[in-house]
Amino acid sequence: MIVVILVMLTGAASALMYALSRQWLDALLALIAAAALSVLLGDHTLPGQTRAHALIDPEGPPADLGDVRSIGVKGDGMRAARWRDLPARPLTWQAPKDATLTLDFPRRIARGSLFRLTATRPGASGWRMQLLAENGLLLAESNGKGATQALAWTPPAAERMVLKARVLDAKGQVIEQGPVPLLVVEPPALRVTGRFSAPSFDLHALHTLLADSGALLDWQVELGSGIIRGQLPRTPFAQADLVVMDGPWLAAHPELAGSGAALLVIGAPPDDAQTVEAGPLALEREGRKAWLAQGDWHRMAIGDPRAHSLWWQEIFDRLDVRQGDGVEWVDTEALPLPHDRLEVCARGASGNALFPQLRQSIAWQARSDRADALCVAVWPAKTGWLEAQSGPATHQVYVYANTDWPSWQAALRRAATAAYAARTPGLAQARARPLPAWPFAAVFGAALLLLWWRERRL
Amino acid sequence: QAQDALAAQSLKAALAPQQRALAALIQLQQAARVARYRSAAANEGTARVALGSADGGLERRAQGEWAGAMPPGLRALMAALDHPGPLPAAWKADAHAWIGARLPGEAQRLAAQRAVQDVDDGCGSCRAVLRAWLRAGVATGVPTGALALHGSPAIDTRFARAWRQGGAQ
């Protein structure tokens, strides 16, 4: 700015000196030269323009689309991580009609719980899905009916593994196969206090189920007057996660009820209890206390152990039995790929997220599209497991190869493209262009040359 | 005679029958303890129970682990097979014993033993295969289809805190 003012002052002074000596043409030339140079040095722009249409290349989307009024894309479109970087614009896109595959499964489960894999092939029939171990051993198979099929398997050990899933057609030919990563974690042991005034087969079945689940049991059953059969936990605990007792014991020891743990009373609820009835379990409106008015579950334990444990798991879930504390990792990305943005989210995390393989430590950030979880974004470098840590909690995310599950990738791209097309389009921002410099440089040069020529001629 | 012994303050001679009864009681208690220990050792892996009185005379006993739990050596081997590093000492013996005891069928046992040999020869990609065979052995050791019961993790987030405070007001 100061330079521009100096140029204008110098030009005005030169013009004044020429004018005093009545060289009107030279004064004019000096004024023109000063004006051209000041325009050249000033930071001037032209009013902006917008582009009408741009075709997006899914492999390398442009970094900036601010001045484009509408965009188009061919094929399956782009992944959600790439669409999210672009401003919303009206999209012209024809969704391909060929078959896709969608898989749905948990990436992380606790040891001893059921792993369910659901596959969807819209419009297809007579196909089935197989889950295989790394050694080719068949672990589970779907029933082969309908467009959506599910299979279930119980991982026996706490480890991380990359299983294989196969989609077969009616003749048993492999249509598609790919990796199914699964992280099985060992949860902290459930701490249960049990107090009962009489033994029963039901209590024995519950005790066996809890002991087989690896729970820490502080269990006492009164056999007769003054004789208690009991068991102390292998490591003593002060605060239980769950207290189970029967009605007579609760009546005799009401002080055990208010310990802060979830409380399950076996027996019918008293008449004055304010409960929410749904099925055999009567939940108290305030607090985590429930009455279980159904017995005879030991028959189910003998006849169908899986249904028995699932029944108890549902009761635990409704009672909100909490076990351990820390961080719950949220998998937001269905199919992470290398060199693509990966969002890692967690509930209950604080401080920094650490990625040892990438040598990155990033502060957890709240996101407007997630109510409760904190997220960080990383760009994984290669295919395989990516470790994440937050304080003492650890997690592993499997990064697929670009060639894995092509039709699932196509389905994800189509869904992401459709979601982008449904966004409310924003207006194109006219982008200001810089003023071209060369005409002013030419005018300035010509004026000075002319002045120099006239000075020399005199 | 007993009164004489009492006067002479020699307790052993004074209460001879009682002394004998006491010795027998002590022996009986020891025998019961040994018998209980032996029966508990026979049922290794299942939950043990102890009898006690209402005033809390329970003994602290080892509690049974999960039915599918692996021996510690094998668990260390499974963890080591996850990474391309050195394996624990005597891993081959552990693996062969586990394969022989747990895998059904000659074909599976042979394939698993081949995987052990491959890993021993330094094949990196065969480690996952061996791990799958060892895992299959765990699965055959679990008799019923029962699942393990779990609670949900207790998670403290800003949202949960605000929800609780709103409920308290």
Measured between CA atoms, the residue of chain A closest to residue B128 is A134
pLDDT of residue B49: 45
Contact check, Cβ <8 Å, B148/A231 = no
Residue among A134, A222, A313 whose CB faces B149 most closely:
A313
Contact A105, A431 (CB under 8 A): no
pLDDT of residue A183: 94
Q: Which range among A281-285, B67-71, B124-128 shows the weakest confidence by mean pLDDT?
A: B67-71
Counting beta carbons within 10 angstroms of the beta carbon of residue A308, is it exposed (0 to 12), middle (13 to 18) or buried (19 or more)? buried
E runs forming strands in A237-355: 242-246, 262-266, 275-278, 281-284, 289-292, 322-325, 328-331, 342-347, 352-355
Condensed to tens digits (0 to 9), the pLDDT of residues A53-93 reads: 888 888 877 777 777 888 888 888 888 888 888 888 888 88
At A221, the pLDDT band (50, 70, 90 cuts) reads: confident
* Among B residues 115-134, those touching chain A with beta carbons less than 8 Å apart: 115, 128-133
Tokens for A17?
A: 């000196």
Most confident of A18-22, A104-108, B153-157: A104-108
pLDDT of residue A22: 85
Comparing A44 with A19, which gets the higher pLDDT?
Answer: A19
Length of chain A: 458
Most confident of A66-75, A211-220, B37-46, B90-99: B90-99
CA distance B21 to chain A (A): 25
Best to test chain B binding among A115, A134, A154, A317 (most B CBs inside 10 Å):
A134
Q: Which range among A311-315, A340-344, B1-5 shows the weakest confidence by mean pLDDT?
A: B1-5
Comparing B156 with A91, which gets the higher pLDDT?
Answer: A91
Q: How far apart are CA A364 and CA A351, in angstroms?
A: 6
Contact A357, A381 (CB under 8 A): yes
Residue among B54, B115, B149 whose CB faces A226 most closely:
B54
Q: Which range among A18-32, A73-87, B136-150 shows the weakest confidence by mean pLDDT?
A: B136-150
Mean pLDDT over each residue of chain B, to the nearest integer: 75
CA distance B37 to chain A (A): 15
Q: Which range among A37-41, A300-304, B161-165 shows the weakest confidence by mean pLDDT?
A: B161-165
pLDDT of residue A287: 66
Contact check, Cβ <8 Å, A372/B146 = no
Contact A231, A218 (CB under 8 A): yes
Whether A382 and chain B come into contact, CB under 8 Å, resolves to no
Return the SS3 of A88.
coil
pLDDT of residue A226: 67
Q: Which range among A420-424, B32-36, B45-49 shows the weakest confidence by mean pLDDT?
A: B45-49
Contact check, Cβ <8 Å, A232/B142 = no
Condensed to tens digits (0 to 9), the pLDDT of residues A294-329 reads: 888 889 888 888 889 889 998 888 888 888 767 889
Q: How far apart are CA A89 and CA A65, in angstroms?
A: 9
pLDDT of residue A16: 92
pLDDT beyond 80 at A262: yes
Whether A186 and chain B come into contact, CB under 8 Å, resolves to no
How would you classify the pairing of strands A262-266 and A289-292? parallel
How would you classify the pairing of strands A174-185 and A160-168? antiparallel
Q: What is the DSSP string of A29-48?
A: HHHHHHHHHHHHHS--EEEE
CB pairs under 8 A between A and B: 184
Nearest to A165 by CA among A197, A113, A210, A121: A121
Bridge partners of A264, per DSSP, are A244, A290
Q: How remote is the C-alpha of A221 from its chain's centroid?
A: 46
Whether A308 and chain B come into contact, CB under 8 Å, resolves to yes
For A401-428, b/e burial (b = at least 16 CB within 10 A) is eeebbebbbbbbbbbbbeebbeeeeeeb
Contact check, Cβ <8 Å, B79/A214 = no
Q: Chain B partners of A242 at a C-beta cutoff of 8 Å? A: 151
Inter-CA distances, A452 with A29, A218, A448, Å: 10, 106, 6
CA distance B97 to chain A (A): 18
Q: Chain B partners of A304 at a C-beta cutoff of 8 Å? A: 145
pLDDT beyond 50 at A436: yes
Mean pLDDT over each residue of chain A, to the nearest integer: 86
Listed in sequence order, the residues at least 6 apart from B119 whose beta carbon sits closer than 8 Å to its beta carbon are B81, B87, B126, B127, B130
Contact check, Cβ <8 Å, B63/A217 = yes
Bridge partners of A230, per DSSP, are A220, B50
pLDDT above 70 as % of chain B: 65
Q: Which range among A274-283, A364-373, B22-31 shows the weakest confidence by mean pLDDT?
A: A274-283
Contact A367, A76 (CB under 8 A): no
Tokens for A302?
A: 């003998």
pLDDT of residue B61: 44
CA distance A139 to chain B (A): 9
Condensed to tens digits (0 to 9), the pLDDT of residues A132-151 reads: 999 999 999 998 888 999 99
Condensed to tens digits (0 to 9), the pLDDT of residues B89-121 reads: 888 888 998 898 888 889 999 999 999 999 999
Q: How far apart are CA A95 and CA A420, in angstroms?
A: 13
pLDDT of residue B40: 58
At A397, the pLDDT band (50, 70, 90 cuts) reads: very high
Whether A26 and chain B come into contact, CB under 8 Å, resolves to no
Nearest to A248 by CA among A237, A240, A259, A256: A256
Contact A316, A243 (CB under 8 A): no
How would you classify the pairing of strands A128-132 and A138-141? antiparallel
Counting beta carbons within 10 angstroms of the beta carbon of residue A36, is it exposed (0 to 12), middle (13 to 18) or buried (19 or more)? buried
